[in-house]
Amino acid sequence: MKILHVNATDYGGAAKAAFNLMNALEKIGHSSVLCVGNRKSSDNRVIELDRDTNPLRFKMKRLFFNSIGLPDWRFRERTISLTDKKYFLDADIVHLHNIHGYYFDYRVLPFLAAKKPVVWSLHDMWALTGYCAYSYDCAQWKKGCGKCPQYNDRKFREPPAVGMDMTGINWRQKKMAFKKAKPLLVVICEAYEKMCGESPITMNLDCRVIPNGLDTELFSPIEKQKARKELGLNHDNKILMSIPSPGRKGLDILSRIILKLENIGNLTVIVAGGYKLPYKSKNKIDLVYVDYIDNDRLLNLYYSAADLFLLPSRADNVPLTLSEAIISGTPCVTFNVGGISTVVPHLDCGYLAKPLDEDDFVNGIKLLLNDNELRLKCSRNARIHGVKNFDSMNSAKLYASLYEEAYKKFWKKKCE
């Protein structure tokens, strides 16, 4: 089959999940292209959706639709133009990923779904809400958004607020569009399946659970001292690794956590991703900063070199970094939010701290660093759990079966 994947970008977590799936699908005989709103890679399978060639018109539309709080609506023509492209016409299945990201008008979804069978992987909560990608402790999405309590206080929220609060209109328009389009939804864990069943927008849509897969041969345990030698890291220190970012991914939280670890001694903390901690070191901790790592072999080396991987997310789905870490045999310490417990069973593959309880997070780090036997058990279990649940070939086979089901259902309805 020929699969057209659609995502906001060709970088970031959702894009990496799409690439992992594309690579695995190719191994079982299915071809893929990825259409994005913003292209950065040189991968010849990636195509950027046509941009507005009139800069003044683009600027005026952006100013207008942003000012009224409906930024996605300015991309109606751009989204419709997708259906005229050869890669769309040739596709057997359209597989949507993140359609939010200022390139796609969700109201066009019924038009697309009338032409091709649509499978949609939900990488966050955006499809269920009037605006937010993560609802945190707000439950208005279950009855209808509007007068959003988080709209003007978006320090840790995604996406950032623009213009007026139109979350109520967005919520109702999404409900109408998705009801007409009837995409086949895919979520990556049971927690998100439950949320889809609670949302009036998606509760009547078919929803399946398929985890994001990884190449379990590329990500695999490397002997710790060998990895440290290759990376030039301290052989004797305990090593923690994290890939935080500002806001939701907890860069500030990580900084406070590290402050509470200064009395441990002989500790190295690798902070990858290109961000610096707002942390005032007293030279008691060896901080190693690493830019964004876009080479999976190198990333696997860093995971393998670390004793623990830390993820202090305020909200999340099933982060790829956690899956990569456990498949590399590295126990994780993280908050029990979103679908994270699917990846890190407590005290089996790491430590699940109470949501946003920084002291409990620190306790988890200390417990695993001080108890060598428990840490080694978690390391062994992590690899077994990761291979069993997050192998990209298993995910690809499940998707291939789903594509065939969606394809047959679509053409059967067309012929009626």
Query: Is residue 122 domain-resident?
Result: yes
> Does the pLDDT of residue 35 top 80, yes or no?
yes
Query: Is residue 406 domain-resident?
Result: yes
DSSP tag of 215: -
Query: Is residue 342 domain-resident?
Result: yes
The pLDDT of residue 255 is 95
154 pLDDT band, cuts 50/70/90, is low
Q: 60 and 129 share a domain? A: yes
Q: 47 and 118 share a domain? A: yes
The pTM assigned to this predicted structure is 0.95
Q: Is the dihedral of CA 139, 199, 107, 79 positive or negative?
A: positive
Give the mean model confidence (pLDDT) for residues 3-21.
Answer: 97
Q: 385 and 398 share a domain? A: no
DSSP 3-state of 98:
coil
Q: Which domain holds residue 188?
A: 2-213+392-415
Measured between its terminal Cα atoms, the distance across the chain in Å is: 23
Q: 121 and 244 share a domain? A: no
Which residue matches tokens 């206080």?
Answer: 153
How much of the chain exceeds pLDDT 90, in percent?
Answer: 89
Whole-number average pLDDT of the chain: 95
> Does the pLDDT of residue 157 top 80, yes or no?
no
Q: 380 and 258 share a domain? A: yes
Say if CB 19 and CB 5 are below 8 A apart.
Answer: no
Peptide bond into 71 cis (omega under 30): no
Which residue matches tokens 């036997």?
Answer: 373
CA 364 to chain centre: 24
pLDDT tens across 350-366, in order? 999 999 999 999 999 99
> Does the pLDDT of residue 327 top 90, yes or no?
yes
- Within 10 angstroms of residue 183's Cβ, the number of other Cβ atoms is 26
Query: Is residue 219 domain-resident?
Result: no
The pLDDT of residue 151 is 81
Residue 132 has which token pair?
Answer: 């937010």
Q: 251 and 190 share a domain? A: no
Q: 109 and 91 share a domain? A: yes
180, containing H or E segment:
helix 167-181
Beta bridge pairs of residue 35: 6, 47
DSSP 3-state of 232:
coil
153 pLDDT band, cuts 50/70/90, is confident
Q: 55 and 34 share a domain? A: yes
CA 412, CA 416: separation in Å to the nearest integer?
Answer: 6
Give the mean model confidence (pLDDT) for residues 315-330.
Answer: 97
CA 46, CA 23: separation in Å to the nearest integer?
Answer: 13
DSSP 3-state of 341:
helix
Count of domains observed in the chain: 2
Give the mean model confidence (pLDDT) for residues 271-286.
Answer: 84
Query: Is residue 369 domain-resident?
Result: yes
pLDDT tens across 36-78, in order? 999 999 999 999 999 888 889 989 999 999 999 999 999 999 9
292, containing H or E segment:
none
Say if CB 161 and CB 151 are below 8 A apart.
Answer: yes
Query: Which CATH number fits the domain that encloses residue 312?
Result: 3.40.50.2000
Q: 156 and 280 share a domain? A: no
Q: 112 and 33 share a domain? A: yes
Query: Is residue 218 domain-resident?
Result: no
Say if CB 332 and CB 322 are below 8 A apart.
Answer: yes
Give the mean model confidence (pLDDT) for residues 302-310.
Answer: 99
Where does residue 177 fall: left (phi above 0), alpha (psi -120 to 50 degrees), or beta otherwise? alpha
316 pLDDT band, cuts 50/70/90, is very high
Query: Is residue 113 domain-resident?
Result: yes
Peptide bond into 159 cis (omega under 30): yes
C-alpha Rg value of the chain to the nearest Å = 22
208, containing H or E segment:
strand 207-209
13-27, 34-48, 145-159, 198-212: segment of lowest average pLDDT: 145-159
CA 72, CA 103: separation in Å to the nearest integer?
Answer: 7
Q: 37 and 131 share a domain? A: yes
Say if CB 349 and CB 332 are below 8 A apart.
Answer: yes
Q: 159 and 291 share a domain? A: no
Query: Is residue 317 domain-resident?
Result: yes
> Does the pLDDT of residue 257 top 90, yes or no?
yes
331 pLDDT band, cuts 50/70/90, is very high
333, containing H or E segment:
strand 332-335
